[in-house]
Amino acid sequence: MEWINHLQTELGDEIVFTDATTRLAYSFDATPNYQAMPDAVVAPRSTEDVQTILRLCHTHRVPVIPRGSATNLAGGTTPLAGGLVMDFRHMDQILEIDEKNLTVTVEPGCITGHLIEAVEARGLFYPPDPSSMKISTIGGNISENSGGLRGLKYGVTADYVLALEAVLPNGELLKTGGKLAKNVAGYDLTRLLVGSEGTLAVITKATLKLIPLPKTKRTMLAHFSDLDGAARTVSRIIESRIIPATLEFMDKKTIEVVEAYANIGLPTDVGALLLLEQDGPKEIVRRDIEAMHAICLAEGASLVEVARDELHAETLRYARRTALSALARLRPTTILEDATVPRSEIAEMVRRIEAIGRKYEIEIATFGHAGDGNLHPTVATDARDHEEMERVEAAFADIFAAALDLGGTITGEHGVGVMKAPYLEWKLGAAGIGVMKGIKLAFDPHGIMNPQKMFAKAAKKRLVQGGGV
């Protein structure tokens, strides 16, 4: 292809790859059942390289799919229209830790866990902690507006992005925000790019907010015989004006699978577990842990296990963080989704998920961030069984409809990508989709940025939910 020859001439074979093996490796992400071959893969080493690539792609109308570590769970980094996958493995540096302004500036390929370790070594704290943080990149986190276990207390990625450097589809450089506590000059383009899933521009640098590292942290695990007791506990804790650093939930099926996988002593005869953590000044942490301990017992917890030390605490956290890995062992294909409801509706949402599983004759395990209502219904299936996959897809459509019926949304942190594109209009309505398409057109008039994602599919017909499913 002419455009590939031009790229190779401009950038060289160390940046541009067209061999079949490399292209195959970049034809899919962590989302089951979505795969397409790109025409080429590029691994830029600088912002200038990215500008060169986008200018050429803009001229030749070549699709561009920015990609980090491909932990995406909505098909957002699959090259469905062919074109060019842009990999940021060479642009992975921490450029500056600014202790005077409490900021860190990084390239998009920087691994989230590496960033967290680097700033904590300075006594500083970057709170967003997606479960994939040991391999996911900051650029990917920004593109998806990733959350994590600490989201209840500390918020999500968008709450920490102060400034961005990005390259527009025509190769022009855009700089937004700054190391500022206040900035209302014009539209907030920084927030617009966060969560845009690579559909508007390519992020090449990010300045992130840091906060002081909490002095103390304590962890505990509460056992409940039924789901309602766990849900009541979540509501009571928040009503008591306690905002835990972590408030996580696992249902019975998830507990059983995690224990079989990790063998760490989890009880398999309970209906639900809550993982609770608090951090901050020592006296406040002690007070909040004691208060949450009492609330758990008052709401029917059969046992509340407070971590003896950091090693014990890490074991308790591991139980939650390993949920997806454990479930992935059950069948050849694992589909992990996310839907968010108000905290007060968690128990009802899990009941509806269980009913949907019975309706479609599939087994659904549910875990997630109980503190912010973000649940992860997960199905172990087999993509080769087309009849079962149809039932799984129908079940997730019902789950999204149930979440909306309860005042929630179709995704809390995984993004829309291609997987949820048919359902986005259920949440935003036709007017919202129209506004998004107008923004997309302004940034990307030729439609080269991550095509066939977000709102590219026609909306599915939504069944109106009633008091149950």
* Tally of CB atoms within 10 A around 96: 12
pLDDT in tens, 44-69: 999 999 999 999 999 999 999 999 99
188 Cβ neighbours under 8 A, 6+ residues apart: none
- The fraction of the chain above a pLDDT of 70, given in percent, is 98
Alpha helices by DSSP H, listed for 336-385, are 346-359
Confidence at residue 463, expressed as pLDDT on a 0 to 100 scale: 59
Query: What DSSP character marks residue 418?
Result: T
Give the model's confidence band at 227: pLDDT under 50 very low, under 70 low, under 90 confident, else very high. confident
Query: What DSSP character marks residue 462?
Result: P
Query: What DSSP character marks residue 368?
Result: E
The H-or-E segment that residue 378 falls in is strand 374-381
Residue 78 has pLDDT above 90, yes or no: yes
Give the model's confidence band at 347: pLDDT under 50 very low, under 70 low, under 90 confident, else very high. confident
C-alpha closest to that of 212 among 97, 281, 124, 119: 124
238 Cβ neighbours under 8 A, 6+ residues apart: 343, 371
Confidence at residue 469, expressed as pLDDT on a 0 to 100 scale: 41
Give the model's confidence band at 466: pLDDT under 50 very low, under 70 low, under 90 confident, else very high. very low
Residue 336 has pLDDT above 80, yes or no: yes
Confidence at residue 262, expressed as pLDDT on a 0 to 100 scale: 85
Average pLDDT over residues 114-121: 98
Query: What DSSP character marks residue 204?
Result: E
Give the model's confidence band at 41: pLDDT under 50 very low, under 70 low, under 90 confident, else very high. very high
Query: What DSSP character marks residue 186?
Result: S
pLDDT in tens, 173-216: 999 999 998 889 999 999 999 999 999 999 999 999 999 999 99
**Residue located via tokens 């809550």:** 274
pTM: 0.92
Residue 28 has pLDDT above 70, yes or no: yes
The H-or-E segment that residue 120 falls in is helix 112-120
Residue 467 tokens read as 């008091």
CA 179 – CA 104 distance, rounded (Å)? 10
pLDDT in tens, 440-463: 999 999 999 999 999 877 677 765
Confidence at residue 33, expressed as pLDDT on a 0 to 100 scale: 87
